[in-house]
Amino acid sequence: MEMQVPQPGPEHERLAQLAGEWKGEEIMSPSPWSPVEQRRVGHIRARMLEGFFVVSDYEQTMDGEVAFRGHGVYSWDPAAGEYVMYWFDSMGGAGGVARGHLEGNQLTFQNTSPMGHHRYRYTFEDGGMVFEMAMSPDGEEWQTLMKGQYQGG
């Protein structure tokens, strides 16, 4: 019996919206890391891997200097029926995993850690992408930590 080679499906095609080269302004809200609002620039280079995964490299600059770097891998988990984001960045640690769903033009991931609940939302609109990162102590009331508006794709 011949084994069927897996093929990307419609969920992978929707995930491909993340692929491309994106650049835009980011607003960092006041938080425990900075008491004042900051404006930064984000640059994302993301590509599809064999039609199944998005592999993403992210760099954030402030005043022309690199302030933060990250690496993400995004996939579709057919057994769970949800998207998965694996994230590693210049803050160190073991990295993180968040699970999510696509509703309309919004791809939203959530996870929890000892620091609380975290939400990562990508909204695709008019050839651009908006990314919002928020935290919550209880998963009910959210505080936006960062909002980026990117062009490209």
Q: Quick check: 94 pLDDT over 90?
A: no
What's the burial of 120, exposed, middle or buried (CB within 10 Å: 0-12/13-18/19+)?
Answer: buried
Nearest-angstrom CA–CA distance, 112 and 18: 23
| pLDDT tens digits along 28-40 | 999 877 789 999 9
User: Structural domain boundaries of the chain?
Assistant: 10-152
How many beta carbons lie within 10 A of that of residue 66, not counting itself?
11
Asked whether the predicted pLDDT for residue 104 surpasses 80, the reply is: yes
- CATH number of 10-152: 3.40.50.300, 2.40.128.20, 2.40.128.90, 3.30.365.10? 2.40.128.20
The fraction of the chain above a pLDDT of 90, given in percent, is: 85
